[in-house]
């Protein structure tokens, strides 16, 4: 019954994009409608209160389970935990700290921002391709890095005084709030609206991905055409949270006890395995390496609450995605546009991690052609055999029939018996 899912879509499939000029012309002039929620603010705590029953951090705060429940009660005005709890401006004395010159540049992004991050020099920076000149002028491209990655970029001669590598502006992160790089990477991925408070749209791509389609074409295809404010691709193979959790355990993505605790908590709240009864919801598991969104109150709330689950439970955001989406949907009828993962592979191309590239064997050299002799011998010209001139023997007339000699016992040409 589940044949509607593209369980084998592991390569790109054809996608119809509008020409860049037409996509740009269709960019909405006003923000999209935000159901129920109109005004969203964020909790600031200094000093921190640590009354939470479990989970949380100095960066995201320690919300109680009662506060968590209240955050899913969608109202016209709300204030929620959303990272950066120790400062009034995200990135300023909050953990995940950013230099003032970079914060000023981030505040200037008032349209579209494309973001990525590389920590521990894990990946090579991938330059976007097929980007229009208009996008190069109007879209902000920001790459967040840690000390180790910045040092690698400088030592390899890629990063100079301009703080740019190709189209990417490099932003150094100070005081990363987690020792687990996977959690730190969730900050720009899920909290773009806090880092870029004036941006209208954001596209997050993992550091190992190369963007190969213009940002305006991506936004038109997955947001504007669908009247959506948040888009993410479905997992290419799995669409059930319980199966995803077991796959994470089998692959050693996180310690099994923490995954089991999170799943049991969600089960008690009512999480059930995916069935077709959930349609039009087509999957409970995203492929989280790309996030496309408009910054409006309801999509910002979804991102905040999804981040809070990552901060409280495991950093495996695929496990918490459906719980947050469904709780908001139950109160507002808002949901996420989940498109096929083969469509995602159409606009980003996955590259190898840097460590893998460095350990890959170089391709074998091509065999050389055989060496030519220094001097070629002169070509041999075949000698023609002189032709015998035909003539008429003396005493014979031309055309006379010559009779063969008959041997005794060879009557009528029969063989001797």
Q: Let me know: does 259 contact 316? Beta carbons within 8 Å.
A: yes
pLDDT band at 389 (very low <50, low <70, confident <90, very high): low
Q: Which of 71-80, 204-213, 272-281, 374-383 has the lowest mean pLDDT?
A: 374-383
pLDDT for the residue numbered 157: 86
User: What is residue 289's DSSP assignment?
Assistant: E
pLDDT in tens, 79-105: 999 999 999 899 999 999 999 999 999
Cα atoms in the 13 Å half-sphere on the side-chain side of 358: 7
Q: Is the Cβ–Cβ distance between 127 and 360 less than 8 Å?
A: no
Nearest to 35 by CA among 332, 337, 336, 335: 332
Cis before 53? omega within 30: no
Q: How many CB atoms lie within 10 A of CB 170?
A: 21
Residues 145 and 153 sit within 8 Å (Cβ to Cβ): yes
Per-residue confidence (pLDDT) for residue 181, from 0 to 100? 86
Beta bridge partners of 98: 173
CB-based contacts of 290: which residues, under 8 Å, 6+ apart? 203, 204, 205, 206, 209, 232, 233, 344, 348
Q: Which residues pair with 41 in a beta bridge?
A: 79
In DSSP terms, which residues pair with 142 in a beta bridge?
Answer: 115, 169
Residue 361 has what pLDDT? 53
pLDDT at 172 over 50: yes
Residue 23 confidence (pLDDT): 98
Model pTM score: 0.82
Backbone angles phi, psi at 68, to 5 degrees: -60, -45
Q: Kind of pairing, strands 139-145 and 168-174? A: parallel
pLDDT score at 405: 46
Beta bridge partners of 191: none
The whole-number pLDDT of residue 414 equals 41
Question: In sequence order, which residues have a C-beta less than 8 Å from that of residue 109 and are 6 or more positions away?
Answer: 140, 142, 196, 198, 199
Please give the residue that has the higher pLDDT: either 102 or 392.
Answer: 102
Lowest mean pLDDT segment, chosen from 104-108, 130-134, 155-159, 216-220 = 155-159
Average confidence (pLDDT) over 115-139: 95
Helices within 210-296 (DSSP H only): 215-219, 241-250, 256-269
Q: How far apart are CA 38 and CA 74, in angstroms?
A: 10
Q: For the segment 355-383, what is each residue's pLDDT rounded down to a tens digit?
A: 555 545 555 565 656 655 555 556 566 56
What's residue 406's pLDDT? 43
CB atoms within 10 A of CB 174: 13
Pick 366 or 118 by higher pLDDT: 118
Mean pLDDT throughout 71-82? 98
Q: What percent of the chain has pLDDT over 70?
A: 82
Give pLDDT tens digits for 240-269: 999 999 999 999 999 999 999 999 999 999
Question: Does 380 or 335 have the greater pLDDT score?
Answer: 335
Is 60 exceeded by the pLDDT of residue 307?
yes
- Sign of the alpha-carbon dihedral angle for 350, 355, 356, 357: positive
Residue 68 CA to residue 70 CA, distance in Å, equals 5
Give the residue among 101, 79, 103 at the shortest CA–CA distance from 92. Answer: 103
Alpha helical stretches, state H, 221-347: 241-250, 256-269, 297-312, 317-332, 341-347
> CA separation (Å) from 115 to 1, 140, 320?
38, 8, 22
DSSP 3-state of 89: coil
What does pLDDT average to over the chain? 88
* CA nearest neighbour of 140 among 178, 166, 168: 168
């Amino acid at each position: 019954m589940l044949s509607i899912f593209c369980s084998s879509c592991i390569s790109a499939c054809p996608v119809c994009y509008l020409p860049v000029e037409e996509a740009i012309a269709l960019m909405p002039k006003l923000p999209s409608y935000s159901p129920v929620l109109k005004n969203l603010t964020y909790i600031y705590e200094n000093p921190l209160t640590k009354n939470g029953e479990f989970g949380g951090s100095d960066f995201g705060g320690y919300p109680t389970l009662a506060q968590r429940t209240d955050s899913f009660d969608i109202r016209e005005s709300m204030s929620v935990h959303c990272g950066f709890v120790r400062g009034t401006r995200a990135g300023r004395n909050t953990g995940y700290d950013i230099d003032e010159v970079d914060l000023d540049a981030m505040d200037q992004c008032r349209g579209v921002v494309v973001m990525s991050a590389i920590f521990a020099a894990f990946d090579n920076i991938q330059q976007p391709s097929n980007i229009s000149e208009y996008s190069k002028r109007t879209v902000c491209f920001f790459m967040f890095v840690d000390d180790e990655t910045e040092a690698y970029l400088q030592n390899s001669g890629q990063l100079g005084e301009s703080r740019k590598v190709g189209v990417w502006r490099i932003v150094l992160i100070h005081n990363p709030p987690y020792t687990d790089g996977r959690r730190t990477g969730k900050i720009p991925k899920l909290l773009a609206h806090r880092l870029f408070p004036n941006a209208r749209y954001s596209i997050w791509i993992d550091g190992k991905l190369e963007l190969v389609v213009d940002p305006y074409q991506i936004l038109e295809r997955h947001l504007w055409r669908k009247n959506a404010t948040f888009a993410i691709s479905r997992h290419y193979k799995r669409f059930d949270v319980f199966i995803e959790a077991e796959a994470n355990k089998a692959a050693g993505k996180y310690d099994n006890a923490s995954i089991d605790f999170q799943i049991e908590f969600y089960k008690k709240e009512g999480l059930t395995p995916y069935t077709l009864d959930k349609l039009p919801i087509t999957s409970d598991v995203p492929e989280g390496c790309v996030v496309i969104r408009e910054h409006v109150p309801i999509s910002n709330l979804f991102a905040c609450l999804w981040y809070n689950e990552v901060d409280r439970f495991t950093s495996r955001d695929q496990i918490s995605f459906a719980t947050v989406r469904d709780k908001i949907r139950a109160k507002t009828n808002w949901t996420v546009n989940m498109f096929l993962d083969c469509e995602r592979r159409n606009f980003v191309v996955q590259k190898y991690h840097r460590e893998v590239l460095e350990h890959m064997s170089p391709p074998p050299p091509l065999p050389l052609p055989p060496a030519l002799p220094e001097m070629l011998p002169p070509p041999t010209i075949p000698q023609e055999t002189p032709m015998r001139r035909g003539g008429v023997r003396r005493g014979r007339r031309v055309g006379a029939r010559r009779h063969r000699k008959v041997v005794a016992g060879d009557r009528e040409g029969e063989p001797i018996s």
